[in-house]
Amino acid sequence: MAKLFILVGGSLGLLGVVFGAFGAHALKERLSAAGLSSWETAVSYQMYHALVLLFVGLWLLLDGPASLRYAGVLFIVGIVLFSGSIYALVLGAGSWLGPITPLGGVTLIAAWATLIYSSLAINN
């Protein structure tokens, strides 16, 4: 799982840079200020959580607690649901995706809670 989280975290980080550049250059003239702000929020959340996913993978490599596996999966699902739904909404997907964004946010909160829970296993 550690390798998977590092691979996915790195990939999501790479895509975060690509999506950020796409928003700044290709979408700048096409989106409203609100749309561009939403895009930037999605990119920011994706990048923050991609970095945390790398951290989770590295911690697992150092024999971190098994609960980190749940945190990693929750971070991946949360990024896809939260940032992915915002990207889709900004690009004109149906409004039915609107309720997916807060579900992604709740999933990210659960991931952070699981990360905190995992820290309780540290014996220092």
Domain ranges of the chain: 2-118
Check residues 95 and 13 and name the one with the higher pLDDT: 13
Contacts of residue 4, Cβ cutoff 8 Å, sequence gap at least 6: 57, 72
* Percentage of the chain exceeding pLDDT 70: 99
pLDDT of residue 124: 66
Mean pLDDT across the stretch 48-54?
A: 98
CA proximity to 19, closest of 46, 59, 1, 37: 46
The band of 121, judged by pLDDT with boundaries at 50, 70 and 90, is: confident
Residue pair 88/101 in contact (Cβ under 8 Å)? The answer is: no
Q: Is 92 helix (H, G, I), strand (E, B) or coil?
A: coil
113 residue type, one letter: A
**Whole-model pTM over 0.85:** yes
Q: Helix %, strand %, coil % for the chain, to 5? A: 80, 0, 20
